[in-house]
Amino acid sequence: EIVAKNLKILSKVIEQKIAQGIFGIHMEGHYISSLEGYRGVHSPKYIKDPVLEEFDYWQEAAGGNIRLFSLAPERNGAINFIKKLRNQGVKVGLAHHAAKHELILEAVASGADLATHLINGCTPLIHRQHNVIWSQLSIDEMWASFIADGHHVPYYTLRAAIKAKGINRSILISDLFYLSGLPEGEYISESNKMKVVLKDEGLWIKDKDMLCGAAKTLNQDVEYIVKYCNFSIEDALIMASINPARYFGIEDKMMIYPGRKGPLVIFLWKNNNLKVTKILK
């Protein structure tokens, strides 16, 4: 009921164009791996196998605005669930999973085409050759999204992964947690009642070396990969804006032409700093 309630709120934000840049909702969680490390900070009590009727309930609450759903392909019924979501026009990503290469290929053949926040959402101790990272980087049909905040992935690993996947198949995401923007200090996560520490523009579970979402905004991520990963500002903006639109098939909305309606973002790029100066609505 809490999920449905929040989806209704987000749907109103989208439908009333309160935030014009929002295309839709990405749902992640519930249908993921329950293995330690792979599940991240998701609460085990909510993790389960996919239930299509439950998704339909969520989609109704969201007013049809769930555009992307990320899950683990090894969950019972996941492959059939992927096919049904694709038939409904919902994109499917793979996240927080420990699937073997052959199963990932089956998921892709069934319609999944995104490696959600690749490199994160898996145990730090993996086989150096046979693992979900190499597997998803190797599949040409898969896109990959990356959290480029400087905490989730080291700059050299991030650069190597993007180079392997290719600029045109890579998407920058913030994975922003709702505590972002607050003063540094300790907080209680409302979703799972965990104590979290906000410091150095990152979020960690207290007394654990484990991240629990990000605190940097997407424009800061763009700055980061230009400054530390040696990508051009042009390529960084492609991965942060053009590619997400291409992934969802709405790249026409990113074209600039005389008489085009907003929103358009005017920014100043100077000394590796991306400063938003104006938003045209």
Domain end (from 162, 191, 215):
215
pLDDT at 82: 99
Are residues 65 and 128 located together in one domain of the fold?
yes
Are residues 65 and 199 located together in one domain of the fold?
no
Are residues 195 and 113 located together in one domain of the fold?
no
Are residues 95 and 193 located together in one domain of the fold?
no
The DSSP call for residue 183 is P
Residue, of 106 and 210, whose pLDDT is higher: 106
Phi-psi region of 45 (alpha: psi -120 to 50; beta: other; left: phi over 0): alpha
Measured between alpha carbons, how far is residue 129 from residues 50, 95, 114, 151, 236 in Å?
A: 29, 19, 21, 24, 29
* Token pair recorded at residue 228: 């530390």
Helix ranges, the chain (H): 2-15, 52-61, 78-87, 101-109, 132-138, 155-165, 218-228, 233-237, 243-247
pLDDT single digits (tens) 68-125: 999 999 999 999 999 999 999 999 999 999 999 999 999 999 999 999 999 999 998 8
The domain that holds 258 is classified in CATH as: 3.20.20.140
The average pLDDT across 223-243 equals: 97
Domain end (from 186, 215, 244):
215
Are residues 51 and 72 located together in one domain of the fold?
yes
pLDDT of residue 10 exceeding 80: yes
pTM of the model: 0.95
When divided into structural domains, the chain yields a total of 2
Instruction: Look up the domain containing 237 and give its range.
Output: 2-175+216-280
pLDDT at 230: 97
Are residues 229 and 144 located together in one domain of the fold?
yes
Q: Rounded CA gap, 165 and 169, in Å?
A: 6
Lowest mean pLDDT among 182-186, 196-200, 253-257: 253-257
pLDDT of residue 153 exceeding 80: yes
- Looking at the DSSP assignment, which residues form a beta bridge with residue 14? none
Is the torsion defined by CA of 236, 24, 275, 115 positive or negative?
A: negative
Domain end (from 161, 193, 215):
215
pLDDT at 219: 93
Which distant-in-sequence residues (6+ apart) come within 8 Å of 6 by Cβ? none
The arrangement of strands across the sheet holding 195-199 comes to 185-188, 195-199, 202-205, 211-214
Collapsing DSSP to helix, strand or coil, 149 comes out as: coil
pLDDT of residue 279 exceeding 90: no
| Residue 6 binned pLDDT confidence (cut-offs 50, 70, 90) | very high
Are residues 46 and 71 located together in one domain of the fold?
yes
pLDDT of residue 20 exceeding 80: no
Taking the CA atoms of the chain, what radius of gyration do you get in angstroms?
Answer: 19
Are residues 182 and 273 located together in one domain of the fold?
no
The average pLDDT across 130-156 equals: 98
The average pLDDT across 160-167 equals: 98
| Residue 19 binned pLDDT confidence (cut-offs 50, 70, 90) | confident
pLDDT at 62: 98
Are residues 188 and 276 located together in one domain of the fold?
no
pLDDT at 21: 80
pLDDT at 75: 98
Residue, of 64 and 206, whose pLDDT is higher: 64
What is the residue-averaged pLDDT of the chain?
94
Nearest to 214 by CA among 223, 206, 204: 204
pLDDT at 112: 99
Lowest mean pLDDT among 22-31, 75-84, 204-213: 204-213
Helix axes 78-87, 101-109, angle to 10 degrees: 30
Are residues 147 and 186 located together in one domain of the fold?
no
- Strand-strand pairing, 170-173 and 185-188: unpaired
Are residues 31 and 107 located together in one domain of the fold?
yes
The average pLDDT across 247-255 equals: 88
Are residues 251 and 209 located together in one domain of the fold?
no
pLDDT at 207: 85
